[in-house]
Structure 1
Amino acid sequence: MFELKPFKSILDLLKAFPTEQVCIAHLETLRWNGNVISPFDPNSKVYKCAGIKYKCKNTGKYFNVLTGTIFENTKIPLQTWFLAIYLFTTHKKGISSYIMATELNITQKSSWFLLSRIRYAMEHENFLNNFDGTIEVDETYVGGKNKNRHDDKKKEYSQGGKQMQPVFGMFKEEVSEVIYRPNKKNNELAVREKVIHQHAVVRTEVVDNVQSKTLLPMIAEKVEFGSTIVSDEYHVYKNLKNAYYHEVVQHRLKNYVNWDGYTTNRLEGYWNILKKTWGTTYMGRVTVKHLHRYCRETEYRFNTRHLNTSDTFNLLLTGCEKRLRYVDLKNNK
């Protein structure tokens, strides 16, 4: 079975994956772990064929480890894919398709499609679980002014003016405790140390509006009953007290931490990260049609910030078992 040594640089990555076959072997380890499963019939017996192919006995169809993934039918070598994934996940503010095209020596169109499929894999099941504990909720607006848009692309979403696209966010706060342990050099001294049991996780959704009929069902679907929800004084959140412990922070009074110590500053900080990525790396050129994919990209970087480079890389590969065709991408499916 293929074993990958941890890496933390491009040089290490190239040494870890020197050939296409090594890339294939690594994907097979992550996807099947020595037990090949047919994508057409999980209960079928599988026969090993020449090269990297397998045959499903029940359906008679051939497949390989790329079947049913973001890599299916790709003409770009896996080594190039792996390098793109490394560059994309390690750049804190992302990387544009133009720069990626130059780095990989491919066309900008191919680069954009490649990055779109990587973003598709970033919607990982590890971060789709329902939230419990203490959750911050807030909404923000992303986009440029209507006067700068073409007539056929003007929006009617409002925030002091009909300009921007609303995005709703939920931030599950980390679970941690502070402990005191003996100093390694002097046992008579104590060292204060923070132990994190669960890291913070963020989830965002591009929405049509920020009305009650839109936001409240999303909260009810994704947040466990009885959790503590922290919000600003926006009137939509008043009905949360019927199912949750609701803490309010009075932003209009310039209070950012309430009397019980609750705040939405962490989610507010995340909005800053999202908007800087949108406005600097992508120069504000992200359309509403694809905005949700860029939100997933920023989420993934935030939610994996505590992992080392190789773990972040492998986690994304475990989320690649879904296919995104170019026609579906253009049709926003």
Structure 2
Amino acid sequence: MFNKDFNSILEVAREFATEEKCIEHLEALYWNNIPVSPFHEDSKVYKCKGNKYKCKTSGKYFTVKTGSMFDNTKIELPKWFMAIFLVTNHKKGISSVQLGKDLQISQKSAWFMLMRIRKCFGIENDIDDKFGGICEADESFFGGKNKNRHKDKKVPMSQGRSFKDKTPVIGILQRGDYEIVDGKKVMLSHSKVKCIVGKNTKSETIQPFIKSVLIKDSVLISDEWWGYRGLDSMYDHHVVDHGKKQYVNYDNPEIHSNSMEGFWGIMKRSYNGIYNWWSRKHIQNYVDEHVYRFNLRELNNSERFNYLIKNSQIRTKYKQLTT
């Protein structure tokens, strides 16, 4: 079941056509088919009717959905599984309006499902592994373009790096390793990113993030922004001066931040073409979504699907999202 590659939403619908099949899959992924109490891991567990279990130590009942993003949901698990497949495999994401139509549920319910899923996407961005080798750092800004706003809604002095009307996102990309075999580049590992939403792009915001992610003495490539100044003592820091229209160091073509710019390009096209708007409150969740898909892009459809479900034991309540 785990190794089967689902090449289409139709195959997911066939494989997980019933609630029972979905529950069996969750029990295999979460527990390896040996029930574990969410209240006391070492407690003896009694099997009850209706896919329920009882924790001997606490005396409480639970199911495989308890404490996960499926906890207390009124939507059938087959629809959840289809939603997970869609959002993990659509390169630029899927809107709540479109998901609601695809699953025949309300837009409000679809939005809640997507936000619960995005909370689980954060596992990839939060994972505690350090970057090394050659890394690129950059910032990008998300929000509507001032030139496209109505005259009454234009924000003065908001050009360039001003973020009065935008939200800054700071990212670091670790390039993949490769070797040359018979004159051809063979990838040994693929590039990965980590991103955070920042209050600003000052050094006190950028540099602690970089230091928390990068191993000392790594190669760090950035643009000329003053927020990166002072990192030379910790890293082999190279600067590409975008202000002078320099995008590659011609003395050393490896010195560029074009890979990070490519990641921003995917996010921008997603923002403009799919979502159209992200609130400041929830933007980190959307960033986590893109980091997840980028970092796991080499996995096949079912591996991405199962990786998310295996790490979906995060319950998000509607009140948490709306207050």
**TM-score in same-fold range (> 0.5):** yes
1:157–1:165 CA contact under 8 A, matched in 2: no
How far did residue 251 of structure 1 move?
1.9
Q: Which residue of 1 aligns with 2:273?
A: 280
How far did residue 23 of structure 1 move?
0.6
Over 3 Å counting, the alpha-carbon distance change for 1:169 and 1:125 in structure 2 is closer
Cα distance in 2, alignment partners of residues 280 and 3 from structure 1? 33
Q: Which residue of 2 aligns with 1:84?
A: 83
Q: Which residue of 2 aligns with 1:186?
A: none
Query: Aligned to 1:250, which of 230, 236, 241?
Result: 241
Query: Aligned to 1:321, which of 307, 313, 319?
Result: 313
1:70 corresponds to 2:69 = yes
Q: Which amino acid aligns with 2:43?
A: S
1:207 corresponds to 2:191 = no
Q: How many residues align?
A: 318
Q: Which residue of 1 aligns with 2:160?
A: 159
1:241 corresponds to 2:242 = no
1:141–1:159 CA contact under 8 A, matched in 2: no
2:136–2:222 CA contact under 8 A, matched in 1: yes
How far did residue 310 of structure 1 move?
0.8
Query: What are the superposed Cα offsets for residues 267-304 of structure 1, whole Å, 9 maximum, x if unpaired?
Result: 01111111110111012x22111111111111122112
1:304 corresponds to 2:296 = yes
Q: Which residue of 1 aligns with 2:30?
A: 31
2:2–2:306 CA contact under 8 A, matched in 1: no
Q: Which moved more, 1:38-47 or 1:264-273?
A: 38-47
Query: What are the superposed Cα offsets for residues 163-217 of structure 1, whole Å, 9 maximum, x if unpaired?
Result: 321111111111121213xxxxxxxxxxx55432222111111111000111111
1:156–1:163 CA contact under 8 A, matched in 2: no
2:88–2:293 CA contact under 8 A, matched in 1: yes
Q: Percent identity?
A: 43
TM-score by length of 1: 0.88
Cα distance in 1, alignment partners of residues 315 and 9 from structure 2? 27
2:125–2:288 CA contact under 8 A, matched in 1: no
Over 3 Å counting, the alpha-carbon distance change for 1:216 and 1:53 in structure 2 is same
TM-score by length of 2: 0.91
Query: What are the superposed Cα offsets for residues 44-72 of structure 1, whole Å, 9 maximum, x if unpaired?
Result: 22222222111212111111111111110
When the two chains are superposed, the root-mean-square deviation of aligned CA atoms in Å is 2.5
Over 3 Å counting, the alpha-carbon distance change for 1:86 and 1:278 in structure 2 is same
Over 3 Å counting, the alpha-carbon distance change for 1:116 and 1:135 in structure 2 is same
Q: Which residue of 1 aligns with 2:144?
A: 144
Q: Which amino acid aligns with 1:216?
A: Q
Cα distance in 2, alignment partners of residues 99 and 256 from structure 1? 38
Cα distance in 2, alignment partners of residues 310 and 208 from structure 1? 36
Q: Which amino acid aligns with 1:249?
A: V
Where structure 1 has 5 or more consecutive residues not aligned to the other structure, the ranges are 181-191
1:267 corresponds to 2:268 = no
Cα distance in 2, alignment partners of residues 18 and 47 from structure 1? 27
Over 3 Å counting, the alpha-carbon distance change for 1:328 and 1:321 in structure 2 is same
Cα distance in 1, alignment partners of residues 272 and 156 from structure 2? 18
Q: Which residue of 1 aligns with 2:132?
A: 132
Cα distance in 2, alignment partners of residues 160 and 16 from structure 1? 49
Cα distance in 1, alignment partners of residues 234 and 193 from structure 2? 21
Over 3 Å counting, the alpha-carbon distance change for 1:302 and 1:232 in structure 2 is same
Q: Which amino acid aligns with 1:137?
A: A
